[in-house]
Structure 1
Amino acid sequence: MPGARSPVGASGPQVVTISHAGFNRAWAAWIGDRLERRGLSVVHQRWYPLDDVPLADYLRDLLLAPGPVLVILSDWYFQLGPRSHDEWNHALRTVVEPARDRFAAVSVTTAPLPSATTVFAAADLTTVGETEAERRVLARLGLPTDPVPPPVHGDTRRAPRYPADIPDVWGGVPRRNTRFTGRETLLGDAYEALQAAGRGAGVVTLHGMSGVGKTQLAAEYVYRFGAEYDVIWWIAADKRVTCRQRLAELAPALGLSTGVEYGERLRAARDALRRGDPYSRWLLVFDGADEPDQIWDLVPTGPGHVLITARNPEWGEHNSTLLEIPVYDRDESVAFVRRRAPRLSYGEAARLAVALEDLPLLLDQTAGWLNDSDMTVEEYIELLRGGIDQDVVRVSADFPLAFQTGWSILLNKLRETVPESVDLLRLCTFFAPGAIPVRLVRDLPPDTLPEKLRGLVADPVRWTRAINKLRQYAVVRAAGVGEREVRDQIGDVGPGLPGDTLYMHRMVHQIVHQDMPEQDHRDFIEVVRRALVAADPHRPTDTRLWPRYAEITPHLKWADVLRSTDPGVHTLVLNCLRYMYLSGEYKAGIKLGGRALAAWKTLLGETHPRIWDVGYHYANLLRAVGDYAGTEAIERAAYEQLRAERGPQDLEHLRAAGGLAASLRHLARYDEAYEISRRQYAAYRELLGEQDTRTLNAQNNLAVALRLFGRYEEALDLDRRTLEARRLLLRPRHNWTLFSEINYTTDLRLLGRYPEAESLQSQSVRVHRIVMGRDNPQTLRAEYNLAFCLYRAGDRVRAGELFSQVLESCERVLGDHDPLTIMFAAGQSCFAREHGDIDQAREISEQVVSRHLELLGEGHPYVTGTRANHALILRGVGERDQAHVLIENSLAGMTAAVGERHPWTLGCAINASALRSLVGDPEGAATLTGETIARATEALGRTHPLTLSARIAHAADLRGLRDAQRAEKTEGEALDDLAATLGPQHVHTVAARSRNRPYWDFEPL
């Protein structure tokens, strides 16, 4: 019958899969050994389901194994995840019940389990001895329960101990942490390293920072693998005297005959361990052995194993295998927090893990406090920003020392041994937590530094000693190799000294920063400010230098640069704001710009020149995220005040004019924006000449204004001149040059010169991706323009892929409501309407209209234009009357907004004529297309694609009026012009020849 298994042993050795939680590894090892001694093959499957995969899927995966599946049931098996009993019951009934003949189970717990676990008919192993437990396992699997046959000659392996039995010698081991989470790979690595080591070399050191859970990991190792040892002895190894004492106490526990003098007992114990007599399977744990120089000679050699926990990685110099213990993986953090604080949801646990950077000790003590509190996670995280206070943590038996207390003890110890390491540590706290580029301080002239740092920075030996001491105590660690590789690529650093970049945990950073004398605070913050100023490459527009700015900007807040009156610091802030704008770091830039504007008004005065500087950059950032009204207010105030104080030819005033014109363009106040841009361009030409970068920027912006007017030929001429000049003055790969390429190809495309536009934009996209990165907003603009070029050129497959890709990227990088995302969504909706899923197109289109309305307000041409696009979707799904009303309103609205001869209005008219024809108004349709042809010819020329579309549409309307002669003539002339302009096989030409009525898509620019 399907799903039934053959009797065990009926056809030779059979495979049994044992599914177990890592917590129950000892049981799995013992059961597996019992089965293997009877000739069966055993596969161990560690059970560790993740939250984002249904339980039923994991259980079905077990059925893929050959033979029976033996599940070791315990509360740990069901807590991993963790999952509710209801979810477990549903999965067990869905998967296990129909395949109960494939599953067997044993229970090793007395804790309550989900009610549906009765489907397993589990054998209870909790209250029986080894012989009876073995019999029950065999019986549950349908195996003979006869005594195990004698071992094969030469088989000398030792069987794992029955898990309910403790080793013959057991001392000092902490209680097992029933909330222990994850660390499966680390436990496996430690086990493999000890098993693979030769005699006398079985030493593994678990090292890492305080609070990372080294002791907990060592204890779990003991419980998980303890069945393989006859002796387990735990030693507190923070001091040599206590270490010697605990080793001496091992002698009587081993049954050694010695005198009462503890030195004699110590020698006897070490000799017995070395010889492996009376026990060769021993495990010693040296916990907290942070000073290897003091106790390395006490570590025994012999056939057994030694496990060491320490902050200090120098155990690697004493024949120990090092395993660094990192903070939790995020999944481990979330699972642990939800065990410690069951009231928290997955999302709340994740937010707490992010705030505490996954440090186990802090997660334990904060989650423990939160679980008994009504405070929200958000409130609690905000509270922790002020420091880890004893009143808002709960100390548990598993992590008995409060985080702050433990670090205070460690800092005192450092202060007593290597005081300059504490100075360096305090200095580091004026950089942001995380990766700290301390080499920036070393690059400063020593004579500019405070006395206590001068010798440290100038002396490589002292510097290295201080760094090494911090690393020995795991206060900091070396940053990743990849960071140094980046610095090498940009020519920022040579071979350097150890500790060029250090990593410090956020909470360690916080504690050290709080515990600092006032004089150190004043001295060290100035040092870091000067280091950041010296690191400024002063060219934020140079994409090659962006990695340097990316390294500098996180540290501005921690160095409190906005309180400085140093002009060099002000320049640094302004350059970083410019970098943030160009690189797309808008949110961080807005936060910095807003704080700088407020701080500098107080510090420097309302009319200080720096206020105009920071206001300009701040406004650029606000405009990038769509805050056009707020931007206009800032820029108009600067524009008017500077004009009144300094006159219309002042360079600061002209810069403010450019920003104001940009905001007015976004607000659709095109006439005023054009006039300001025209005056600005003329003034720059007179003052600076045609080849100055500011003149070229003004020329670029004037072309934008012309494009928005629909004057595409004029825009093309200006953009061509700007592009050529930038290629000469800057370089072909400069980001401004690349931006000019986007503008120039946009003009070409809007003029119907599709092959030229696609060719140049394809090349430009490749360069954008290399120079600016795939996620830069300007790169996304270039890709979006290429998608349109491909679409207009007839390559719909590539266009569709690129439309989707660029929208997804923009949503990920900038968010759903960013102006660029909304623009890309408009294009995606239009493409999906014609060549994809019209229901998806409708959903996207509704969002585009709504978000444009929210961002720009009623009456803006972008709102009107995207409503016109939506009318085409309504027409496509059969809602003709609604579509007709919407397109007529759009035509009226667009005419009012930009005039009757604007290409946007002409496009709305083409679409409106089609709806008039559909609802039975052929006369109105023909009149409208006739008027549109005249206006389009005047505005764009007889052979522009928009004019040609109007001519093809008018031919259709004439046929609707049964004026066949005029229809044929109009259509024939239009088809000839289409073939001559776009080519006889272009999709638009083919569609017109097939008498498919043309439509127009509004495209926000």
Structure 2
Amino acid sequence: MEQAGAWRAVTGMLVDEYLDLLAQRSPEILELDPNPDYPVSVAAAWDISLERIRENNPGARQLLDICASMAPEPIPRSMLRGGRGVNITAEVDPLLRESIKLNRAIRDLSQFSLVRVDPRSGTLQMHRLLQTVLLAKLSTEERDRMRDAAHQLLSAAKPGHHASSVEWRSYQALLPHILTSQAVTSSDTFVRELVHDTVLFLYYWGDHQGAADLGRQAWNAWLAASGEEDIHVIRMAKSFAFTLRQIGQITEAIPLTERALEVSRRIEVDPEDLIDSLCEMADARRYQGRFAEARDLGREATELARSLFGPDDPTTLRATHSWGVDLRLCGQFREALPLDQENARLRELMYGPDNFLTLNSLNGLSIDMRESGDYPGARDFQEDVHRRARTALGEEHPLTLRVARNLAVCRRRDGALAEAAKLSDETLRRFVARYGSVHADSLSTAINLSVDQRLAGDLDSSRQLGEETARRYATLLGENHAYTLLTQANLAATLRALGALDSAQELEDAAADRLAQTLGAKHVITLTVAVGRANTAYARLDFDRAHEIDQANVPLLAEIAGEEHPLTLSVTANLALDLRGLGRGAEADEMQREAVEGLTRVVRADHPWLVAARQRRRIECDMAPMPL
């Protein structure tokens, strides 16, 4: 009815004449498709209008065939205007070159109800049945040609940087058309760049599964068509592997990344691509728990980028960020801190204060501050980062949630236990709702909440969540990964609070041995586990063992973290209790005084660790997984 009304409004044709036209067209439709899945009368009505458009405006008619190759979703008019440098056909090209001709073509199509125009959103849309009719009228060769034309228009409309939230709406508008037109099958350089950037957009937007699915399609298609030494295949292999790691398919991801780096070195890709391959390999090694190897790769990438491009090039900033992550995971927070401070400053200058990359750098910087011992400063800093992330990305965005998780840890370390627990609980619920309970982000948030629950006195919930998270980490990352082991050590603190000292000691001793082998005896995670081992010994009234562990730990923490670090001072306070248990009261009093004075300088006056030191109670320290 809409077609008939549009036809009569434009042509003034009588109803009987129009019905005769429909009768003439129906057999032609059945010749094209003997068993159509749409009403023949509808197709015939469209066919009448299509013939008139072909006669009056051939370019507009071909434009319909191009649009039929895309999704039955709104098509941005800007995509057509952006195709001025694209050559398609002699009939279509003038429409793309001149706005007046394009507007006239769209008006003609709209008058015959072949497209629906929405001036407010700046889009046009075609009915899915009309698309089916149009595609049925094309030969295989014509379909391929129109699909290639659609790919050219899509690539010409490629939005800006995929990490910029300002560009995400544009990527969203193109996404259904990229998928429906099977852009992954194109061998055109610009189309492949669009597909690759779309995979990265999906990750930054938060659709990790969608990014992995599109990455898999593209990598399989490109590998079959071009071979593993093609630069687009190499780039997609890395990005596909990265997205696989985000969704927990680590075993499949690692060989892809390793092969990409090997091929990159062998064929001597451009330095920008080699640096990216080094960074992706560093990222992969983190998931394997091989932090020192990751650090070496990050350093190699950063030094190469700095030597070739200078300190403020985007490639250098990407490599430097990767190296900072590696340094943190190796416990070298004081080395990471100045590196990340400068990198965050440069990223903010280059990308703006609310860009994903800037916020991600600031999130890492606050971890450096916290783990370097500045608990109040880190918390204040991260509160601001959280406000910025919520404003720029929204409450539910995964980076906002990662920032929130970090903020919860910063609040806990600053002594704001109730606020920390509330935020951890909210963040975990949001992560689980979006990605499920076994996602890496959900697990790292869960272990933080387990610590918060222990500190709040909800020991049963803490134990249950800790046990679940330990099992899930072992499945995801392996039994010997540092995050599996620190989760077990955190769980041991809960078991100790419940009086299950044998179970606590068994977990801590096993974790300490394996961490010493994988991370080293001087890694801050290994040293923090030792704090718990001493606490278990003290709870058993084994003051000799507690003293032995704490006495060995204090100088190591002073060397690695610093003498004024709250962690070092807390162990000093615990050591004073060991001495008191051994009957060495004078030494204990002096050491307690030193610990209290030190903690008074570095934490807030009501901080639980300072209160515990003053009241001669044991201090429990915890560990928080950092972003891999």
TM-score normalised by structure 2 residue count: 0.86
Q: Partners in 2 of 1:974 and 1:446 — Cα distance?
A: 71
State, as a whole percentage, how many aligned pairs show the same letter. 26
Alignment of 1:592 with 2:214, yes or no, is: yes
Match of 1:706 among 313, 317, 327: 327
Matches within 5 A, 1:355-434: 406-419=38-51, 420=53, 426-434=65-73
Matched residue SS, 1:995 = coil
Which residue is equivalent to 1:563? 185
Match of 2:14? none
1:501 aligns with 2:128: no
Instruction: Say which SS state the counterpart of residue 437 (structure 2) adopts.
Output: coil
Give the drift of 1:656: 1.0
Letter in 2 for 1:413: A
* Distance of 2:442 and 2:226 partners within structure 1: 38
Q: Take 1:467 and 1:442, find their aligned partners in 2: how far apart are those partners?
A: 17
Residues 766-802 of structure 1, C-alpha deviations (whole Å, 9 max, x = no match): 2222223333322222121112222222223332222
More helix by percentage: 2
Change (3 A) 1:468 1:817: farther
**Per-residue deviation at 1:710?**
1.2
* 2:273 aligned residue: 652
Q: Distance in 1 between matches of 2:2 and 2:340?
A: 58
Q: Residue 487 of structure 2 is aligned with which of 860, 863, 866?
A: 866
Give the whole-Å Cα distance in 2 for the aligned partners of 1:963 and 1:900.
29
Secondary structure in structure 2 of the residue aligned to 1:878? coil
1:630 CA drift (Å): 3.0
2:356 is equivalent to residue 735 of structure 1: yes
Letter matched to residue 797 of structure 1: A
Matched, 1:574 2:196: yes
Partner of 2:503: 882
Query: Deviation at 1:617?
Result: 2.0
Letter in structure 2 aligned against 1:463 = I
Report 1:915-926 matches (<5 A).
915-926=536-547
Q: Is the 8 A contact 1:479 1:503 kept in 2?
A: no
Give the aligned partner of residue 257 of structure 2. Answer: 635
1:934-990 Cα deviation digits (max 9, x unpaired): 211221122211111211222222233233222222212111111122143323212
Is 1:437 equivalent to 2:76 in the alignment? yes
Q: In the alignment, which residue of structure 1 is the partner of 2:238?
A: 616
Listed one character per residue, the Cα deviations across residues 850-884 of structure 1 (whole Å, up to 9, x for unaligned) are 11111111211111110111112222333232222
State whether residues 806 and 824 of structure 1, in contact with CA within 8 Å, keep that contact through their aligned partners in structure 2. Answer: yes
The question of whether the paired residues in 2 share the 8 Å contact of 1:751 and 1:945 is answered with: no
Q: Which amino acid aligns with 1:444?
A: G
Structure 1 residue 816, shift from structure 2 partner: 2.1
Kept in 1: contact 2:418–2:456 (CA 8 A): no
Question: Residues of 1 paired with 2:286 and 2:102: CA distance?
Answer: 58
Q: Is 1:941 matched with 2:567?
A: no
Letter in 2 for 1:986: H
Structure exhibiting the larger radius of gyration computed from Cα positions: 1
Q: Per the alignment, do residues 512 and 825 of structure 1 end up closer, same or farther by CA in structure 2, a change over 3 Å counting?
A: farther
User: Structure 1 pair 687/423, CA: closer, same or farther in 2 (3 Å)?
Assistant: closer
For the pair 1:726 / 2:365, whether they are aligned, the reply is no
Structure 2 residue matching 1:874: 3-state secondary structure: helix
How much does 1:663 deviate? 1.0
Compared with structure 1, are the counterparts of its residues 454 and 677 closer, same or farther at alpha carbon in structure 2 (3 Å cutoff)?
closer
Separation in 2, partners of 1:439, 1:711: 49
Aligned ranges for residues 65-104 of structure 1 at < 5 Å? Answer: none
Q: Rate the CA distance shift 1:556–1:952 in 2: closer, same or farther, 3 A.
A: same
> Which residue in 2 is equivalent to 1:464?
107
State how far apart, in whole Å, the 1-side matches of 2:119 and 2:236 are: 34
- Letter aligned with residue 177 of structure 2: H
Q: Is the contact made by 1:911 and 1:1000 (CA closer than 8 Å) also made in structure 2? A: yes
- Say whether 1:677 aligns with 2:304: no
**1:829 paired to 2:455:** no
Q: Which runs of 5+ in 2 are unaligned?
A: 11-32, 54-59
Distance 2:132 2:432 in 1: 34
Structure 2 counterpart of 1:601, which letter? L
State the distance in 1 between where 2:493 and 2:307 align. 49
- Structure 2 contact 351–358 (Cα < 8 Å) conserved: yes
What is aligned with 2:592? 971
Q: Is the 8 A contact 2:550 2:575 kept in 1?
A: yes
Pick closer, same or farther for the CA change 1:529–1:406 going to 2, 3 Å.
closer
The code of the aligned residue for 2:256 comes to: I
Cα pair distance change 1:426/1:881, threshold 3 Å: same
Secondary structure of residue in 2 paired with 1:501: strand
CA contact (8 A) 1:441 1:528 kept: no
Amino acid at match of 1:441: L
Amino acid at match of 1:580: L
- Tell me the SS of whatever aligns to 2:616: coil
Separation in 2 of the partners of 1:889 and 1:722? Answer: 38
After TM superposition, give the deviation of residue 290 of structure 1 in Å. 9.8
Deviations 1:183-232, CA, capped at 9 Å, x for gaps: xxxxxxxxxxxxxxxxxxxxxxxx999xxxxxxxxxxxxxxxxxxxxxxx
Which residue matches 1:102? none
Say if 1:952 and 1:515 are closer, same or farther in 2 by CA, change over 3 A. Answer: farther
Q: Taking structure 1 as reference, are residues 629 and 519 closer, same or farther at Cα in structure 2, changes over 3 Å only?
A: closer
Distance 1:911 1:777 in 2: 32
Q: Give the Cα separation in 2 of the matches to 1:446 and 1:651.
A: 27
More strand by percentage: 1
Q: Would you say the 8 A contact 1:456–1:463 is kept in 2?
A: no
- Give, in whole Å, the separation in 1 of the partners of 2:621 and 2:119: 53
2 CA distance for matches of 1:609 and 1:746?
35
1:625 aligns with 2:625: no
Distance 2:118 2:290 in 1: 51
Query: TM-score with structure 1 length normalisation?
Result: 0.55
Alpha-carbon deviations, 1:628-675, whole Å to 9, x = none? 34333122222223323329x944323211111111122111222222
Instruction: Indicate conservation of the 8 Å contact 1:415/1:422, yes or no.
Output: no
**Which position in structure 2 is the counterpart of 1:117?**
none
Whole-angstrom distance in 2 between the partners of 1:292 and 1:916 = 92
Q: Do 1:638 and 1:653's aligned partners in 2 also have CA atoms closer than 8 Å? A: no
Map 1:134-283 onto structure 2 (within 5 A). Answer: none
Aligned-partner SS, 2:74 = strand
C-alpha contact 2:298 2:323 (8 A) present in aligned 1: yes
- 2:438 counterpart (817, 821, 828): 817
Counterpart contact for 2:550–2:574, Cα < 8 Å: yes
Q: Which amino acid aligns with 2:174?
A: I
2:164 matched to 1:542? yes
User: Which residue of 549, 571, 589 maps to 1:928?
Assistant: 549
Cα gap change, 1:610/1:990 in structure 2, threshold over 3 Å: closer, same or farther? same
Contact 1:643 / 1:650 at 8 angstroms: preserved in 2? no
Matched residue SS, 2:512:
helix
Shift of 1:891: 2.0
CA distance in 2, matches of 1:807, 1:480: 42
- Residues 909 and 928 in structure 1, CA contact (< 8 A), matched pair in contact too: yes
Contact 1:429 1:558 in 2 (8 A): no
Instruction: Give 2:72's aligned amino acid.
Output: P
Q: Does 1:845 align with 2:484?
A: no
Contact 1:678 1:702 in 2 (8 A): yes
SS of the equivalent of 2:39 reads helix
Partners of 1:418 and 1:515 lie apart in 2 by: 11
The letter of the residue matching 2:554 is I
Aligned residue pairs: how many?
A: 593
Match of 1:990 in 2: 611
**Distance change in 2, residues 1:512/1:925 (3 Å):** farther
Question: How far apart, in 2, do the equivalents of 1:901 and 1:773 lie?
Answer: 40
Match of 1:690 in 2: 311
Q: CA RMSD in A?
A: 3.0
